Amino acid sequence: MRPPIEILLSEEMIRARIAQLAEEIAPRLREDVLLVTLMNGAFVFGADLTRALARLGKPLTLDFMVLSSYGSGTVTSGRITTRMDLSIDPTGRQVLLVDDILDSGNTLLMASNHLRDKGAADVLTCVLLDKPARRRVPMQADFIGFEIPNLFVVGFGIDYDQMFRELPFVGHLRAS
Ligand code: 5GP
Ligand code: MG
């Protein structure tokens, strides 16, 4: 059964913030930037951010990585593996790494180190949501959509056991 969801960030709030984020990010981007979206959770945010940057006239090359951290439900294990790597060589390029949520920091730290190991010249990071209270490793994003409290969120590409990715807003599971 699908648990009830309470709206935390509406479609309108997210749309407006992504347009602002693009304005913040665009001046920092080089001509050769490679925008890397972490799948699956960031696919909606990555798509919207890509188009917001394109509206500002930024040329982008796009690539994707699939990481998995084991465990389902609302707890992540901290063990992260690369299930699908980049298909474009990032050597010497600036990379804008896009993820859905910065939580313990393990995922973004591991992914940015991976990109540097593969030769990226510069890695900028952008997350839709940041939960600073949950940080376990020293990792900050260069660009943050929204800082949120320690709630388990879903929607806008983010799932709970593969449910709720389709929701156009960010919500949280209501305690029932
Ligand atoms: P970290 O490695 O920073 O602990 O976790 C980052 C990843 O954990 C996110 O990309 C996301 O996939 C998952 N995650 C963290 N918080 C939440 C949450 O509130 N809801 C869901 N569905 N996933 C989360
Ligand atoms: Mg994720």
Region 4-19 average pLDDT: 97
Q: Give domain limits for the chain.
A: 11-70+81-162
Cα–Cα distance measured from residue 89 to residue 51, given in angstroms and rounded to the nearest whole number: 23
In contact, 155 and 5? CB cutoff 8 Å = yes
In contact, 170 and 153? CB cutoff 8 Å = yes
pTM equals 0.95
Residue 71: pLDDT band with limits 50, 70, 90: low
Is the CB–ligand 1 distance for residue 42 below 6 Å?
no
Is the CB–ligand 1 distance for residue 152 below 6 Å?
yes
Region 26-43 average pLDDT: 97
The ligand with the least distance to the CA atom of 131 is 1
- Any residues with CB less than 8 A from the CB of 88 and at least 6 apart, and which? 34, 61, 63
Domain 11-70+81-162 listed as CATH 3.40.50.2020: yes
At residue 1, the pLDDT reads: 78
The ligand with the least distance to the CA atom of 167 is 1
Residue 72: pLDDT band with limits 50, 70, 90: low
Per-residue pLDDT of 92-109, as tens digits, reads 999 999 999 999 999 999
Name the active-site residue from 48, 99, 103, 130: 103
Please indicate whether residue 103 is annotated as part of the active site: yes
43: helix, coil or strand?
Answer: helix
H helices, E strands: number in the chain = 3, 9
At residue 172, the pLDDT reads: 97
Residue of 166, 154, 163 lying closest to 129 (CA atoms): 154
